[in-house]
Amino acid sequence: MKPDAIDAKILEALMDDGRASFRQIAQRTSLTTPTVSSRIARMTKAGLIKKFVPVLSGDSVNRGVTALVTLKAGSASVQRIAEDLAKMREVEAVYMTTGQSITLKATFDSVQSLQSFLAQSVLKKRGVEVTSTQIVTSTVKEEPPSLVPDALVMDLKCDYCGGEVTSSRPYTVSAGPSHYYFCCKTCRKEYLGEHGKRLAKITRRLRA
Q: What is the pLDDT of residue 61?
A: 55
User: Where along the chain do its domains lie?
Assistant: 1-48, 62-135, 157-208
Q: How confident is the model over 170-183, as pLDDT tens digits? A: 899 988 788 899 99
pLDDT reading at 72 higher than 60: yes
Q: What is the pLDDT of residue 81?
A: 86
pLDDT reading at 157 higher than 60: yes
Architecture in CATH for domain 1-48: Orthogonal Bundle (1.10)
pLDDT reading at 59 higher than 70: no
Per-residue b or e along 13-50, where b marks 16 or more CB atoms closer than 10 Å to that residue's CB: bbeeeeeeebeebbebbebeeeebbebbbbbebbebbe
Architecture in CATH for domain 62-135: 2-Layer Sandwich (3.30)
pTM flag (> 0.95): no
- Give 58's pLDDT tier (boundaries 50, 70, 90): low
- Give 195's pLDDT tier (boundaries 50, 70, 90): very high
Q: What is the pLDDT of residue 63?
A: 65
Average pLDDT over residues 108-129: 83
Q: What is the pLDDT of residue 147?
A: 61
What gap in Å lies between CA 79 and CA 82, rounded to an integer?
A: 5
